Amino acid sequence: MSDHKKITDESGGDSARSLAESRAPRTIRFSDSEWKRIDKLAVEQGISSADLVRQTMIAMTGGKLPAWFDATSGALPPGIQTQIEKIYRGVYILATLKRDKMYREGRQNELDAFLEAAKRTQVAIMKSASGS
């Protein structure tokens, strides 16, 4: 019988890590101000700073955000705001291309409401990301 067991890591993702596998210490350098920000967020999440860094990196290597991440916290990881802006632009272009068709179908109010909601959401996300 194998002592390998599929477990769930701290970020909520599955990891095929052996029960016998232990973690080894690694060195990552942070400035004092960077570490204070990491430590503050870790305290807010109720986890250690090391767990916060580990969970974040493990989740992001799998193309996901960590389980504790809350988009309303303003703590957007690097690159996420750019991705949001690109997605918004794509959605805006597609919506604009479909606008005439929706008007012909009598759905102009639905489209206008959707576009306004999308614009408000983008502004809120950008404000949150910039810390304002």
Instruction: Band the pLDDT of 10: cuts 50, 70, 90.
Output: very low
pLDDT at 105: 92
pLDDT tens digits along 36-45: 988 888 887 7
Mean pLDDT, residues 26-40 taken together: 89
State how far the Cα of 130 lies from the Cα of 132, in Å rounded to an integer.
Answer: 6
Taking 80 as the threshold, does the pLDDT of residue 56 lie above it? yes
> Which has the closest alpha carbon to 52: 119, 44, 105, 112?
44
Predicted pLDDT at 78: 58
pLDDT(107) > 60 = yes
Residue 35 confidence (pLDDT): 92
In the predicted model, what is the mean pLDDT of residues 109-118?
Answer: 85
For residue 108, pLDDT over 90 is answered with no
- The SS3 of residue 65 is coil
Mean pLDDT of 88-93: 84
pLDDT value at position 3?
40
Q: What span, in angstroms and rounded, lies between the C-alpha atoms of 109 and 113?
A: 6
